[in-house]
Amino acid sequence: MHRQRIRHINLDALLAEMRAQGIEGLEEQALRIGGVDAAALARMKAKRPIDCLVARRIEWALGKPTGWMDVEHDPLEVPG
């Protein structure tokens, strides 16, 4: 699977996890991630490319190991 597709799947899973934790809406989710504004997050959700720096920032902010965004995960392992 293409790396961008994997990143989008993982981003969707992380956003679902945040919603489950009560972190609703792109503004609040972007604040939780930090360094990403709601407009950028909306573009990523719309399947625009997620560059390496942003992927690493998301991983760091959400406590995932480096490279987590680039790896396919078993659906049982992925939050949400």
Q: Measured between alpha carbons, how far is 53 from 51 in angstroms, rounded to an integer?
A: 6
Tell me if 50 sits within 8 A of 69, measured CB to CB. yes
Please tell me the predicted confidence (pLDDT) of residue 10: 96
Query: What percent of the chain is modeled with pLDDT above 90?
Result: 86
Domain ranges of the chain: 3-70
Please tell me the predicted confidence (pLDDT) of residue 77: 60
Tell me if 5 sits within 8 A of 49, measured CB to CB. no
Please tell me the predicted confidence (pLDDT) of residue 79: 55
Tell me if 8 sits within 8 A of 50, measured CB to CB. yes
Please tell me the predicted confidence (pLDDT) of residue 80: 46
pLDDT in tens, 8-39: 999 999 999 999 999 999 999 999 998 899 99
Please tell me the predicted confidence (pLDDT) of residue 35: 84
b (16+ CB within 10 A) / e for 29-40: bbebbeebeeeb
Average pLDDT, the chain: 92
